[in-house]
Structure 1
Amino acid sequence: KKEAKRHLYHGCTKFSRFSFVVKLLHLKSSHRITNSAFTDILKLLVEAFPQPNTLPKSYEEAKNLLKELGLGYESIHVCFNNYILFRKQYAKHDNCLVCGMSRWKDPTRKKIPQKVLRHFPLVPRLKRMFLSRKNSRRS
């Protein structure tokens, strides 16, 4: 609750820090902005907004803000043909056990997965939702 009410900068009434960061991350996602470009945009905004401001200074900091509030996600590598998830017993595998496709775009470098599933765990969201007595009352 405190984070949702935290001002972006002194005198800003249109956005809270949280709402502004969520809108920026939505733009990043919908326009496929790279993490490094997003960090550069944040650095520019930090300089442009009145001081002191509460904007995160990097993509990682913005992502961690959501994670701290229970709104993060888990990235899971997936077989290009959707046969297996590279997690649990398959986490260390580099090729799909069903079709043989490589997990990586460039198998020699092994940095960029071919396909990623973003899993948004339900339990932290439910816990966050029912922290408030108002939300957890029975109807």
Structure 2
Amino acid sequence: MDEAKRQLYHGCTKFSRFSFVVKLLHWKSYHRIPNGAFTEILKLLAQAFPEPNTLPKSYKEAKNLLKELGLGYDSIHVCFNNCILFRKQYANHDNCPVCGLSRWKDLARKKILQKVLRHFALVPRLRRMFLSKKALFSL
């Protein structure tokens, strides 16, 4: 609740820190801005806004802000053809047991996934939403 009311900088009435970061992350996602470029944008905005400001210093810090408030997500690796999710008994597999496709784009590096599912858990969001009626109407 305190984070939703925290000022972006002294005297800012249009945005709270939380609302501004959420809008920035929405733009990042909508316009497919890479993480590194987003961090550079945050640095530029921090220099442009009056001191002291409460902008996150990096994409990771902005993402963690949402995660701390129960608004994060889980990344789940998926077969490119949507055959299976690479979790539970398939967590350590490199190839899909159904179609045989690799989990990775680059087999040598094994760091770039073919496909990722982002799971936004509903229960924490509902808990957060109904935490307080006052909070619901102030956001």
TM-score, normalised to structure 2's length? 0.93
Matched, 1:125 2:128: no
Residue type of the alignment partner of 2:26? H
- Runs of 4+ in structure 1 over 2 Å off: none
SS of 1:41 mapped into structure 2: helix
Cα deviation for residue 2 of structure 1 reads: 1.2
Matched, 1:15 2:15: yes
Could you say which residue in structure 2 is the equivalent of 1:111? 111
Q: Which runs of 5+ in 1 are unaligned?
A: none
SS of 1:25 mapped into structure 2: helix
Deviates more, 1:99-108 or 1:121-130: 121-130
Matched, 1:60 2:37: no
Q: Give the RMSD, CA atoms, in angstroms.
A: 1.5
Residues 73-113 of structure 1, C-alpha deviations (whole Å, 9 max, x = no match): 00111000000001111111111010010111111101111
* Equivalences for residues 21-32 of structure 1 within 5 A: 21-32=21-32
Cα deviation for residue 5 of structure 1 reads: 0.8
Cα deviation for residue 130 of structure 1 reads: 2.4
CA distance in 2 between counterparts of 1:84 and 1:7 reads 44
Residue type of the alignment partner of 2:81? N
Aligned residues with identical type, % of pairs: 82
Number of residues of Structure 1 aligned to a counterpart in Structure 2: 136
Q: Which runs of 5+ in 2 are unaligned?
A: none
Residue type of the alignment partner of 1:29? S
Could you say which residue in structure 1 is the equivalent of 2:69? 69
Residue type of the alignment partner of 1:132? S
Residue type of the alignment partner of 1:102? S
CA distance in 2 between counterparts of 1:6 and 1:27 reads 21
TM-score, normalised to structure 1's length? 0.93
